[in-house]
Amino acid sequence: MVVHMNSGMRIELKWLPPFQGTEEVRRTSAEIKILFGSENATYLDDGWSKSVEHGARVSAYPLALWLASSWWRIRWEPLPSSIRLAPDEIPADADWRMSHELPAAGYGFIWPQLSFASDGETIRATCRRSHELSAEPIRYLSDFEAVVPAREFEREMDNFMDLVLRRLDSVGETELHTIWREVVAERADPEQSAARRLEARLGYEPDEAPSPLLERLLALADEAGPGATDEIAPVCAGSHPTDTLNEVMSLAAQPGVQGRVSVPAAYRGSDAGMAPWQRGRRLADSARESLGFGGRRLTDEALAEVLQILPDDLKGSASGLPHAPMGMAVRTGKNEELKLLFRKRNRPARRFEAARFIADDLCAESGDRWLPVTDTTTARQKLQRAFAAEFLCPIESLQAYLGDEFLPEKFEEAAEYFGISEVAVKSHLANHNLIPRSLVDSESMP
């Protein structure tokens, strides 16, 4: 499936005569189009009229109410990377889906299978066509993914809310007025905005996160750094967030491996408008050039020298922390020294983790003392993974090694040659549209 990067998002309304329902629903009866560039999430086959339509005949009120209620989570919560459950609990993704998938807007209308997930910088919209065997009278036909810059998403939500609220002026005060007024006020207040953002990244609705947990994370920003805390919060999402945070704090107190990133002149400028994977690759290319590596593969000795550690530290051993919720580097404040807390234990995964430490040290704000390396899908983690893949295995070198045909049996050989996992090889190729994404979707990156 093609992903449309940096797509423009628009919600178009054409007011219609009132449907049945409450006054709010009747007043905002409309034909609604939800557009992402050239893609239309509301392109549908109407079984009642026996026609194909470009807009859905629904009410704007439940859509606006759902978007306002879910605003903080849609804007800041990433797609869950793991599920930590007790046997008797509701599946963790059920709660996520209620706040991120449009059918949860409900009110008896048939909505497109459209979901939103944030990486902090962008919102990924995923639209799936209705099931072929669906008995519903409305069947949505579009199937696509689009990436919307977060600021553009915010602007479009503001415009949409303004249209709906003005339409409701004759109705008087509604639940939507109350909720949206609170969202706007919280966005304007730096302290409230920071708290809401952390709640969302923890997977909670506003005011539902345990107060002691939220207070600890807000305090942690002073020690670890604001950006680092934003990365730690989604790691703690799940059934036992306090326990996970305790594990993170315990990890940071471990002795680790002492090192220092030694890259003489890597590009560290702003790449506004570029996707995280593009920034990661650009940074990796710059770092390799400044180190004189060219396109050759990196031995353990060469990689260890960049981090000023011993080659044996990359070979994997009992010194890894496999049960830790994440890996981490800590800036000690002494001559750019780092304390490296490896989570991975096998050599390919540890090399990849080491490269991610390098990326984060090069990119993280100076106020971040902790450098988290996690399994989440935030923009910062995406940049780390893209950097590590390109730094350890330049795509041109990988293509040259594999030859004209990307035979599956060659992937394992390439992984051994470049010192990374076979999954990383496949993901690197898929990210450059050289093999189908389906070859790696069932696996996970290091």
Give the pLDDT of residue 89.
Answer: 40
Give the pLDDT of residue 21.
Answer: 87
Give the pLDDT of residue 86.
Answer: 38
Asked whether 340 and 323 are in contact (CB, 8 A), the reply is no
Give the pLDDT of residue 90.
Answer: 40
Give the pLDDT of residue 272.
Answer: 63
Give the pLDDT of residue 432.
Answer: 80
Per domain, the residue ranges of the chain are 3-185, 197-252, 257-439
The Cα 335–Cα 381 span in angstroms is: 25
Give the pLDDT of residue 321.
Answer: 65
Give the pLDDT of residue 151.
Answer: 94
- 140 to 42, 44, 218: CA distances (angstroms): 7, 4, 43
Sign of the CA dihedral running 206, 212, 218, 221 = negative
Give the pLDDT of residue 91.
Answer: 45
Residue among 148, 359, 351 nearest 266 (CA): 359
Sign of the CA dihedral running 332, 257, 84, 422 = positive
pTM of this structure = 0.89
The Cα 371–Cα 342 span in angstroms is: 12
Give the pLDDT of residue 84.
Answer: 39
Instruction: Compute mean pLDDT per 10 residues along the chain, 446 residues long, and list them.
Output: 71 93 94 95 88 93 97 94 42 79 93 95 93 81 93 96 95 94 96 95 93 95 95 92 94 93 70 82 92 91 95 75 86 91 91 95 93 95 95 88 79 83 84 74 52
Give the pLDDT of residue 409.
Answer: 79
